[in-house]
A and B are shown apart, each in its own frame.
Chain A
Amino acid sequence: MRRTIVSAVTGITLALAGLSFASAGTLEDVKAKGFVQCGVNPSLIGFGVPDEKGVWSGLDVDFCRAVASAIFGDPTKVKYTPLNAKERFTALQSGEIDLLSRNTTWTMSRDTSLGLMFVGVTYYDGQGFMVRKSLGVSSALELSGAKVCAQTGTTTELNLADYFRSHNMPYEVVAFEKNEEVLQAYEAGRCDAYTTDASGLYAERLKLTNPDDHMILPEIISKEPLGPAVRQGDDKWFNVVKWTLFALLDAEELGITKANVDEKKTSDNPEIKRLLGTEGDFGTGVGLTNDWAYNIIKQVGNYGEIFDANVGPSTKLGIARGLNNLWSKGGIQYAPPIR
């Protein structure tokens, strides 16, 4: 709680300072200081979590690395700011971070009244429920009268209320500030169900004593397009971050991977040539060098590689591509072309 107030007060103080950060241009600032300050989740396996040595990993973390690679050609030029759900927007508004990449749902109110802009969707998610198998429930529609544990300061509470109200089911919500406590309370049996974004459920289930005693119900009760966000009013920086995401997706579509990017550089395919900077001046147009996308793929890989390495079927989380597959492969991930 204190941290929230501290960051809120910091936000106010910086607002007083006249938002001097925004005026200089985030891209120039980032280039001058030599690293990207990235706001991430400190405790969500597969999206943002540091290991014992302090090395961060996760899909959101890899996106920060991709942005750093695009600018510096070096994925290590990122500094991470661990943020909780309530602090994240203030941290971005105040200029404490350059980029918010913290499993954040893109919604209209956030996009329009918080002074920030979402650049796109890195992960199509939706809210779901986890229950004990011993409860004998196979659908969320059977949860009438259930006590549900959730995390406060997110859209989760609202979705939960909407779902139960629209199905005329009574429920009780027990809302904690931190995910750790939500999980502990759920495990202690305070609640029948645990709700958060489905990706989070898969990650949190691994932390339970007996993950196999718990199951995730099939219903997805909300649309949760998770994506990175930047401050409003800095179009240049917005473009850099946006096109980093598109480059990741285009690279997968064109079959360019971390392993074959060097040999693809000699490809005759004009689309690949434009992406990798051997033809045209697309990189300089966005304020970077022409090999920006080459650097991203070389250092971090394409979108599919990032997904598979962090949350895909071969990881502990074992999440299928589903909606997050490319549009050409049955999903809805689609990026505008580079030309």
Chain B
Amino acid sequence: MASGPSGGTSSPRGVLAVINNPTFRGVIVQLVFVAVLAWFVWDVIDNTARNLQRANIAAGYGFLNRTAGFGIVQTLIDYAETSSYGRAVLVGLLNTLLVAGLGIVVATALGFLVGIARLSRNWLIAKIATAYVEIIRNIPLLLQLFFWYFAVLRAVPGMREKWTFLGVFHLNIAGLHVPRLAFGDGSIFILAAIPVAIAISVFVAHWGKGRLDRTGRKPPVGWISAALIVGLPILVFFIAGRPITFDVPVFNETGPILRRGFQSGTGMTIIPEFVGLVLALSIYTAAYIAEVVRAGIEAVSHGQSEAAASLGLKPGQTLRFVVIPQALRVIIPPLTNQYLNLTKNSSLAVAVAYPDLVSVGGTVLNQTGQAVEMVSIWMLFYLGLSLLTSMVMNYWNRRVALVER
């Protein structure tokens, strides 16, 4: 009976009791680990800074304010040679976002198509889809990138010639030349009409769902929304006096050879570097997405389809209401991986002269010599973008996940 409340922390047995307490030990071990990690990180940063200083290498991010002085072939925001390095990096960053965003959309569409095609009962379609997946995912992406880029370049007419289709699309080696929308006074009303139309559509969808629940009849919500989103801006366009016009690319066929071809500053040009990169990234990633989709659909047991059929659901409804919602639970997590891969693979852009973050950053790095700073910007951006993608996808995953009680 010597132990007990009177033992206290001062007695040896009390101390022993605290040390033997697994919670206490757990906390101590974790604290020590965090402290060691923090010390290590601080030491790395401090040491790098001091070594750079000792080697006479300038450090810091001040260079981002200096004038860049070099040109960039595709800019989504205003940029000139007199802009700062920071703005150049921003241009590259937006170019990366554009190529990654479009790549994800195209890869997803193509991947779902091929994944479903692989399960087709039609022998030819299934085999073609299988061949696509096996060929594409077994060839390194860089080689495919070169293939698409140089294939595109060699296939299209030279700079002083063009192919025209549908009257307004012109293709040659300098890119795809299309009319550009020129926004005049009053265009703002048209742009504002789009979110208004979307808001009304949301309201209509809500009303339609209530109507379905009450009466069992489904109003044509999809058609109404489509008519609203397309119709309303067009209506406003005419009311506002047609402020949006087309800026058509100008093509010169006479004059000095260098002056022939499409004139810069007219119309909009989609450069072949962008086309090649999006093609390569989406075709490559689609092969992986196809496999993910196939696995997801095959994971839904056949009994589910049979049960749906016996309830009287049509095949299309079975796919939409029974198979796909359950398949998505399996598809989304690996799909996230593919999106992240595509984003990171877009850094291969520099190989085909697409001015992405790595390409522009490389020029900045070379002109300023600030390797540590530039590499840190690269890493931070890709990390941030990947975390953001994961966050969105995780949110979606939670939405479709099986809720268990």
Contacts and interface: CB of A to CB of B under 8 A. Distances in A.
B401 interface: no
Interface stretch (A46-54, A84-92, A250-258, A276-284): A84-92
B326 interface: no
B150 interface: yes
Given A172-B264, A175-B73, A188-B154, A158 B367 contact: yes
A225 to B, nearest CB: 17
Contacts of B264: 145, 170, 172
B363 A175 contact: yes
A316 interface: no
A158 to B, nearest CB: 5
Contacts of B353: 149, 152, 174-176, 181, 185
Given A12-B48, A158-B367, A173 B362 contact: no
Interface string B79-103: 0010000000000000000000000
Contacts, number: 159
Nearest to A171: B71
A1 B348 contact: yes
A149 to B, nearest CB: 8
Contact of A19 (B54, B81, B259): B54
A30 interface: no
A220 interface: no
Interface in B242-267: 256-259, 263-265
A86 B374 CA distance: 12
A11 B371 contact: yes
A331 interface: no
B259 A157 contact: no
Grouping DSSP codes into helix (H, G, I), strand (E, B) and loop, the B interface class, with mixed when no group exceeds half, is helix
Contacts of B259: 145
B111 interface: no
Interface residues of B, number: 53
Contacts of A18: 47, 51
A327 B57 CA distance: 35
Contacts of B55: 15, 19, 22, 93, 115, 231-233
Interface string A7-22: 0110110011011001
A93 B365 CA distance: 14
Contacts of A147: 159, 174
Interface stretch (A118-126, A136-144, A285-293, A298-306): A136-144
A82 interface: no
A158 B375 contact: no
Interface stretch (A57-65, A106-114, A266-274): A106-114
A232 B56 contact: yes
B72 interface: yes
A256 to B, nearest CB: 37
A89 B369 contact: yes
Most-contacted residue by chain A among B72, B272, B366 (CB, 10 A):
B366
B273 interface: yes
A303 to B, nearest CB: 29
A42 interface: no
Contact of B371 (A8, A160, A176, A178): A8
Interface string B340-383: 00000001101111010011001101111101100100100000
Contacts of B159: 147, 189, 192
A153 B371 contact: no
B173 interface: yes
A188 B368 contact: no
A4 interface: yes
A162 B273 CA distance: 24
Interface string B308-352: 000000000000000000000000000000000000000110111
A189 B257 contact: no
B51 A152 contact: no
Nearest to B47: A16
Given A8-B371, A232-B56, A176 B365 contact: no
Contact of B362 (A144, A149, A152): A152
B70 interface: yes
Nearest to B375: A8
Most-contacted residue by chain A among B51, B69, B71 (CB, 10 A):
B71
A9 B379 CA distance: 11
Interface of A: 1, 4-5, 8-9, 11-12, 15-16, 18-19, 22, 85-86, 89-90, 93, 109-110, 112-115, 134-137, 142-147, 149, 152-155, 157-158, 160-162, 164-165, 170-178, 181, 184-185, 188-190, 192, 231-233
Closest 5 CB pairs of A and B: A115-B55, A157-B70, A15-B51, A188-B153, A153-B366
Given A112-B56, A114-B57, A192-B159, 4 more contacts: A15-B372, A16-B51, A162-B69, A188-B150
